[in-house]
Amino acid sequence: MSEYLPGLEGVPATKSNISFLDGKKGILTYRGYRIEELAEHSSFEETALLLLDGRLPTAEELACFDEDLRRNRRVRYNIREIMKYLPPTGHPMEMLQTAVASLGMFYPSDECLTGGDRCTDLNYIHNMSVKILARMATLVAMWEHLRNGYDPVAPRSDLTYAENFLYMLSGCEPDPLHARILDTCLVLHAEHTINASTFAALVAGSTLTSPYLVVAAAVGTLAGPLHGGANARVVEMLEETGGPDRVRPWLERRLAAKAKIWGFGHREYKVKDPRAIILQKLMERLMEHRGGRVSRLFETALALEAAAEEPLAAKGVYPNVDFYSGILYTEMGIPTDQFTAVFAVARCAGWLAHWCEQLADNRIFRPTQVYTGEDVRPYVPLEKRA
């Protein structure tokens, strides 16, 4: 194939049985299970193991996996010392990429990847996946305290993944509903076929580099505003509108200027993102829990979605997963600049599942190009150049 397609749009880059989406019908599945069912019935721990192993675990398998995650939440003090010397004004995603990459120096275990052949040691792959996934949330939560001049809150082994994450972020007992909502958000963000960050993980993994560096490559890719950073932009945008009563004229000006409407549109979906539908319902549930009080951000978002239906829906542009996730995180007290880091914590499960799949039938990525430069020409000595 020699045709150039910008962004590799529609070009198959790999074969995978991890997730599937039908953008015209609004269907997303993990290992064949619809995202709606997983969001309602599963947990992040179970979903992560489903992605990694390819099947729903037994109660015993899930309990063992959960215990492994709890046992590996702590990180060595050296990591904390590195983080202490990072600029407190740095973005959490820059911190996360640095910290994840450094983990490999303190927890070396890459013997499976040094022979130049494909790695078939499933125990090694599983154990490395557990260690990285367990520590992702720890790193994000530690940074919230360290960048503000405080010692981090130690993880607790008596809490679920989502509960512990919220506890480490705030130092307080997590609200049960907040924990359940965050758990569902982690499920929704855990995997989404070959997106930009997952492709970065595949390319890095194909070189047989350390899994820590595979995840670090993916984190750096997710940090971009066109990928994982969009939900923070949504919150800023909603605040910029001036409230639900001013949404329509704001939208008209935005569309006239052909400016981007953050949280709307998706390369794959031509209908409303199924994850956005679930997140909207979670927001409604949170508001009901608070006695029916509607968040101004949420009210503005609803007004914007209604105002955008006529000019955008006809073009197949609907709210995506970023439109409501940032509002939920704001309502739970998570700082805006941490939104993408929370995304990374969840998506790490998908990255590692794809890393495992890549290793099973590995070939280093080496795409070609369409050359647009000069033909071969003679070198001109410096003294003869005009």
Active site residues: 266, 322
CB contact set of 370 (below 8 Å; sequence gap of 6+): 2, 4
Distances (CA, A) of 225 to 73, 210, 228, 233, 337: 29, 26, 6, 8, 12
3-state secondary structure of 107: coil
247 by Cβ neighbours in 10 Å (0-12 / 13-18 / 19+) ranks as buried
Residue 291, sorted as left (phi over 0), alpha (psi -120 to 50) or beta, turns out to be: left
Distances (CA, A) of 50 to 3, 8, 32, 355: 37, 29, 10, 15
C-alpha torsion angle, residues 112, 113, 119, 125 (rounded to 10): 60
Pick from 137, 130, 148: which is nearest to 68 by CA? 130
Q: How many H-runs (helices) and E-runs (strands) does the chain carry?
A: 16, 3
CB contact set of 308 (below 8 Å; sequence gap of 6+): 251, 261, 264, 317
CB contact set of 183 (below 8 Å; sequence gap of 6+): 43, 44, 160, 161, 162
Concatenate the DSSP letters of all residues of 245-297 into one string: GGHHHHHHHHHHTT---TTB--SS-SS--HHHHHHHHHHHHHHHHTTTPPPHH
